[in-house]
């Protein structure tokens, strides 16, 4: 059966690395907002942003994710798995995608990457140094702020999730 795979976790948790692997494993289409956002709008996130800059970035990012959902829903209807590499930091977002999957008559799977704070911060430092062009520079203070608002999936939510192997849980950040 066709599935909507939702990547859940904070930046630097390894979501995109795992999403790339799942893309091959399931012959799926992977939709990663940062890649599209950067190609269309450039690197508009980073240090020394004003509140207006952040609002503009967030508005653009929302538009990218909305467009990606339009593509995803059509692809799912055509019978191809979709991997949404969105992060979905709060339960309400995950519930919304679960409902959308249900409305389309497809399975819904959460791939949750639970990574300790110290590992996230180490990976962030490496990511910011090597910035390969497909990811945003993220200030350390911003990641710490996001850690405070992140709501890990509950056991109830994960009942429909894929049981990640230890190998998948310990993916190196790339």
The CA-based dihedral angle spanning residues 89, 59, 84, 88, taken in that order and rounded to the nearest 10 degrees: 10
Q: Are 4 and 102 in contact (CB under 8 A)?
A: no
**Could you tell me the two tokens for 54?**
């952040």
Would you write out the chain's pLDDT as a tens digit for each of its 174 residues? 999 999 999 999 999 999 999 999 999 999 999 999 999 998 888 888 899 998 999 999 999 999 999 999 999 999 999 999 999 999 999 999 999 999 999 999 999 999 999 999 999 999 888 876 778 889 999 999 999 999 999 999 988 665 444 344 444 443
> Helices marked H in the chain — which ranges?
15-25, 33-41, 51-77, 91-104, 117-130, 140-149, 155-158, 166-169
The answer to whether residue 174 is domain-embedded is no
Sheet holding 3-8, edge to edge: 29-31, 82-87, 3-8, 107-112
Predicted structure pTM score:
0.88
Q: Considering its fold, how many domains does the chain have in total?
A: 1
The answer to whether residue 107 is domain-embedded is yes
The answer to whether residue 144 is domain-embedded is yes
The answer to whether residue 22 is domain-embedded is yes
The answer to whether residue 154 is domain-embedded is yes
The answer to whether residue 127 is domain-embedded is yes
pLDDT the model gives residue 132: 65
Rounded CA gap, 17 and 56, in Å? 27
CATH number of 150's domain: 3.40.50.300
The answer to whether residue 146 is domain-embedded is yes
Determine the structural domain holding residue 32 and report its residue range.
Answer: 3-169
The answer to whether residue 138 is domain-embedded is yes
């Amino acid at each position: 059966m066709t599935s909507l795979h939702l990547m859940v976790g904070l930046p630097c948790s390894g979501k995109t690395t795992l999403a790339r692997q799942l893309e091959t494993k399931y012959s799926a289409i992977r939709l990663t907002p940062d890649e599209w956002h950067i190609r269309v709008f450039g690197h508009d996130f980073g240090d020394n942003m004003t509140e207006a800059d952040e609002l503009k970035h967030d508005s653009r990012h929302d538009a990218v994710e909305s467009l990606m959902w339009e593509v995803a829903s059509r692809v799912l209807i055509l019978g191809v798995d979709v991997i949404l590499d969105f992060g979905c930091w709060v339960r309400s977002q995950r519930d919304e995608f679960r409902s959308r999957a249900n409305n389309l008559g497809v399975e819904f799977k959460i791939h949750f990457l639970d990574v300790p704070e110290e590992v996230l911060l180490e990976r962030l430092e490496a990511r910011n140094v090597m910035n390969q062009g497909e990811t945003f520079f993220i200030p350390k203070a911003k990641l710490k702020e996001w850690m405070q608002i992140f709501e890990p999936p509950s056991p109830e939510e994960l009942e429909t999730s894929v049981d990640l192997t230890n190998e998948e849980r310990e993916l190196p950040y790339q």
